[in-house]
Amino acid sequence: MSSYAGRKRVVFSGRSQIPPAMFIKEEIVDIFYLSLLALAILDKNSNWESWTDQDTISALTYVSLFAIDWLQTRTLAQNNWDDGYHEANPFLGIAPSVSSIDTYSLAAIGLNTVKARLLPNPYRRIWQTHLIISEGETITKSHSIGVRISLKF
């Protein structure tokens, strides 16, 4: 995947399963995402006009699945990452705060949606399908290891 915003967030139970991670200050990542979003919006060669109803359905499906992933991760952070769970996304770190998760998630949804809008078909359809499958796998894996959702805000 070419964008960090599209990386899957899968939590793992147990320290031995923590993937090698590179840690970057959250502020730098936030600035990076916002810069990419601004560049995408200002691109004069975008494909905004060719957006179809199917593209809208795919985008809403992705956002819905990503929201479940977001809530699963947020629930772990609200519980102080108890029970040995850890974040697998190297840009969030092993135990990110709720605010870091929220910032990352909003940026990821925005960037992936803008990226889909900028891609011509059939690449747009491929990108959207990839996002949907990736998020489906992520939330299924997290659920299978016991991660649930809490709606505490």
Nearest 10 degrees: CA dihedral of 13, 18, 22, 24?
A: 20
Q: Residue 86 pairs with which residues in a beta bridge?
A: 12
Tokens 């819905």 belong to 64
Written as one letter, the residue type at 22 is: M
Q: What are phi and psi of 86, to 5 degrees?
A: -140, 150
Rounded to two decimals, the pTM is 0.69
pLDDT value of position 115: 85
Quote the pLDDT of residue 88.
Answer: 84
Bond into 20 cis (ω within 30): no
Amino acid at 84: G
Distance between CA 39 and CA 30 in Å, rounded? Answer: 14
| Token duo for residue 104 | 């990352």
Tens place of pLDDT per residue across the chain (153 aa): 222 233 344 444 443 333 333 344 445 555 665 666 566 556 655 566 678 899 999 999 999 999 999 999 999 998 888 878 888 888 888 899 999 999 999 999 998 888 888 887 788 899 899 999 989 999 999 999 888 887 765
d(CA 40, CA 8): 22
Compute CA 143 distance to the chain's CA centroid, rounded to the nearest angstrom: 16
Q: Reduce the DSSP state of residue 131 to 3 states and report it.
A: helix
The pLDDT score that the predictor gives to residue 15 is: 37
Q: Is the peptide bond before 19 cis (omega within 30 degrees of 0)?
A: no
Residue 153: half-sphere exposure toward Cβ, Cα within 13 Å: 4
